[in-house]
Every structure is written in structure tokens, then in C-alpha cells.
Chain A
């Protein structure tokens, strides 16, 4: 069945000046049960006092939280929606590294996933033990643990990392993308696909194929412009 996306062409063009690196994207109209977030376009990413911690004590500066709907063509029902989260994060004290170097960045990305998901795994083990349930790694939080778990690609003249994360109990994993802004700061782009009720599709594989197409369609409308000085340092 054909899926209808929002019109990116007619969606507002959002531009962030992240201390010399420009993030430009088309952002479809928000359609969700929560208030969307859109940070000021000239936010100072070097001011670390404006970053906030979530469940883990890791600082993030959230730029965008938004959601939009996909529909089935010629049908009165929705197909699903994409929940988008975009934020800036930086390496923590004692982790000196160079994000503009591809190998260093990939290594840091793995570290960051471990910092985020490691404690969750520990909690999950405690929960399973408390409920007398077996500890099976494949049924617990999933995140990239080795370089082979990251999908690396090049876009806008720089190296990107993509990984699927989430909990198997939800019947799906969702893509998270990381890309350097400069030597010390990176953008995290989270794309969670909600809905896509298996009842309305031929198979789980079909749903995965559709989501992949929809993700690529979104990414086609995301651009990052680096200053000549930054571009010269990318290795």
C-alpha cells in the first residue's frame, strides 16, 4: 500500500547556526499529543550551562522535538508517525578526542552508547532477577557495542554514524544518527517510528523497508554546512 509523507518541500526551512556550523532542515508540521520543542536558531553550543541531563547524567542541548504523521493513500487511516529528536552533545571531561577524525569519532560514539545504555542493562538485570526471569541478552536493551554494529557513511563532506537502538519488547529498534559539529561537539538525531501497526502490513520486513525509505527521505532534507576551516580539519 502506498504511504503518503508530509510535503517536505512545503515544510518550513529550519536553520541553526551552531557556532559556525550550519544545520539546515525541512521540518514538517508537528502532529502529536505533546508540545513540540524548537530551540533558538542562534543558540551558543559552547555555553555548557544550558545543557540538561536526562535519565543518565549526560548533558544534551535539545534543539528540536517534533512528530509528524504518515498516511496510507486512499484510506481513512494513518500508517504511523515519526518522532524526531535533535540535540547537541559533547564529550565529557577526561575523554579528549577529535570528532573531526573519523576513527576517533566512531570510537567515541560507541563510548557514548555504552554510557547511555550500560546502566540501563544493569537495572534490567536487577528487574529480571527480582521477578525470577532468565537473563537473555537478545531480549534486553539493544545498542551498538562493537565497531561492526555502527553503520558509517559520508554526507555533507563528513562522516556519520548510524545505529539501531531500543528494546526488543517493543517489537522494533529505531535509528539514531550521530554527526560531528566540530572537534568537540556532535549532533544526535533520533528517529523513532511509532504506529506502523503490523496488522495493516504484509510483514515486519515490509514495515522495515518502508521505514528505511522514510528515513532516507527525511535525511535528504537535512544538510550541514561546515566552515572552510572546519572542513580542512576533517580527516
Chain B
């Protein structure tokens, strides 16, 4: 399967002629016949599909806004990067659209380049680290813990979340527990992890968060009972980073992934290398219909199912086999549609919006 190696983009503040080759026309209306041409980075396709559903009113509003950039790009309602006058950010419905208005060389038209599309969270200023969450009456209550390791039976690493409070609500629902530990993965960290790139934040916060998680993983190894980790969404990317610095093994810790993004297959292999337990009682990797994750998985389906396979005769062989079968069935259609879409877009045969229309029925 011909797929991009990774969904992670390199950060850049300028657009070189070489970068520009990755951009395709957004739609038939934006080729420059009226107003400025609008191009979009083709590798944003999975992001775009996960954030914008053209079948909804909000999704249509986002598409309409982008087409409108032919005339309105860079106007007062958009936010300008203080460090770079060519960079702009517009808010439409639930997403931020980042773009640059550039003339790459004399003779070519001034063009709007859409460089990023991402969720519009600004976070709550809380730091990455261990928190406790409990269901108290009708609400999830959250506190920072003073413990350096997880003392409860379950722990969650959250994905994209607008606040620790929201991550807490989600953690209780994921674990079906009255109380759980939460390794809070703040949104500004997620922005840097490549799932939603940020041109503003440095890599420093991600490093701090990953180091913090490394410490928690290592210290939680001194338990007598097994610790059950629930890794959600973009939390999988943070875990991958934290694992790189883990010394010793993680045999007292058991992992499962819910809607993971990033390169889950490699992360699972790293966990295996650390002798971590991988859940067999239930699905090791499961999806609840969040499209971002489904797409990420679709582009690595074969590798993922290979690394998930349990040897015949080993514990969990049968259950894991069923789980893999289900995953394959669920993702097969999406996987081939994404492969086709990527090939067409890379060959420059079509516009971004045409592809979107083609795959929208799949996810």
C-alpha cells in the first residue's frame, strides 16, 4: 500500500518552491479564474476528513469559508502571526484554518496556501502530569496528585481535550470506573505532537510532558498489582515518545488503545520490547467512530494487525485473532479509499474537494 510514512509534518515558517509542490488546488472554484488561487497541503487530507464532515452544516460552512478566501484572505477577522506577516489564522465553526498568502516567484499569481487545519482548543494552562479523577454525584472531580506513581488500578492518557476537566469526564467514561488516575496530556502539547501542528509553541512542552510520563511509567513498575492503561487518541503519540526513554521493563503494566492516532504499530512493538502486557480480554485497539483515528489506522492497517498478532498456543491467541478480524473488517473499506485518494492527489489528477466528496461516504 502506498501511503505517507507518517502523519507528522515538519514545522516550517517559510514555504519553499519544493514545499509548494505538496499543495493542490482546493477545488475547481479556486484555480484562480476569479480571485486568488487557493491551494492546500495534500497531506492534510486525513486531518481534514477527521475534523470536517461535509455532510453537516458546520462542515459546509468550513468549505464555504475556504472557497471564500479567494477574496477575503487576510482580512480583519483573521489573526495574523506577529512573527510573520504572511501567516494568518481564521476560525470557522470548530476549526482553525492556517494559511499563508505568498507569491512564490515573479510571474506566478499571489496564492493562498492552506498549511494547517486544527481543533481550536487553547487549553486551561494546567501542566502535564498525574491527576486523580472521581465520579462525585453528577460530576467528575479532578485534582493533581502528589504521588509520583499510579496507585489506582486504572490510568488514562487522554487525547485531544479542551481541559483537564473534560479529560476527566472522558477518562471516567472510558474506564467505566468510579475513580481513575489520569495522565493529563494538555492540548498545547497535542498541538506539537504532529496531530495538530502548532506554528506558535515550541517543542519544549512536549518534551516536558514526555519526560513526566517516562517517570510515571518507570515508577509505576514497583507495583504489586497490574496497572491498566487506557491510551486514548493523541495520547498514543505522547506514549510513544515517553517510551523512548524508559529504562527497564514495564511488565506490571497493561495497555489498550482507544481511537489511537500516530504510528500505533510501532508503539505496540516498543511496548512488546519493554515486556509490557497488551490486553487480550478485550480489544487491544478499538475505535468508537472517531474518524481521525480510523484514518490513521487505515493507513497502517497491515502493520498494525501484524504487530497485534499473538503466536498460536500463546495466551490470548483466540481472542486477539477475533479482535484483529473485527478491526480488518471495520477498516478495510476506509483503508482502500484512503490509498486511492492519496494516489490521485499525489498524481495531481484531482482537487482536494473532489477527493473529499469521494471518500466522505466511507468514514
A-side residues, CB < 8 A to B, are: 31-35, 53-56, 58, 60, 62, 65, 67, 69, 71, 74-81, 83, 85-87, 89, 116-117, 120, 127-128, 130-131, 133, 141, 165-167, 169-171, 176, 188-190, 192-200
B-side residues, CB < 8 A to A, are: 77-79, 89-91, 94, 96, 120-126, 134-147, 158-167, 169-170, 173, 178-179
Point out the residues of chain B lying under 8 angstroms from A199, CB to CB. Answer: 122, 125
B138 touches A85 (CB 8 A): yes
Point out the residues of chain A lying under 8 angstroms from B145, CB to CB. Answer: 127
Point out the residues of chain B lying under 8 angstroms from A53, CB to CB. Answer: 178
CA distance A190 to B135 in the complex (A): 12
Cβ 8 A contact of B137, one of A79, A167, A190, A196: A190
A194 touches B136 (CB 8 A): no
A170 touches B142 (CB 8 A): yes
CA distance A35 to B162 in the complex (A): 15
A/B interface sample: 18 pairs, CB < 8 A: A34-B170, A54-B178, A55-B178, A67-B166, A67-B169, A76-B91, A78-B122, A83-B139, A83-B165, A83-B166, A127-B147, A166-B141, A169-B143, A171-B125, A194-B124, A195-B122, A195-B124, A196-B124
Cβ 8 A contact of A74, one of B77, B142, B164: B77
Min CB gap B44→A, angstroms: 17
Point out the residues of chain B lying under 8 angstroms from A62, CB to CB. Answer: 138
Point out the residues of chain B lying under 8 angstroms from A197, CB to CB. Answer: 122-125
Majority DSSP secondary structure for residues of A touching B: mixed
Min CB gap A196→B, angstroms: 7
Min CB gap B182→A, angstroms: 12
From B95, which residue of chain A is reached at the shortest CB distance? A76
With a 10 A CB-CB cut-off, give which of B124, B160, B164, B173 has the most chain A CB atoms: B124
B89 touches A76 (CB 8 A): yes
Q: A65-B138, A188-B137, A195-B121 are in contact. Are A127 and B178 (CB under 8 A)?
A: no
Q: A83-B166, A85-B137 are in contact. Are A77 and B120 (CB under 8 A)?
A: yes
A127 touches B146 (CB 8 A): yes
CA distance A170 to B165 in the complex (A): 9
Q: A78-B121, A127-B146, A131-B147 are in contact. Are A194 and B179 (CB under 8 A)?
A: no
Cβ 8 A contact of B139, one of A34, A117, A192: A192
B166 touches A87 (CB 8 A): no
A200 touches B122 (CB 8 A): yes
Q: A35-B173, A53-B178, A77-B91 are in contact. Are A171 and B134 (CB under 8 A)?
A: no
Q: A69-B162, A83-B166 are in contact. Are A89 and B137 (CB under 8 A)?
A: yes
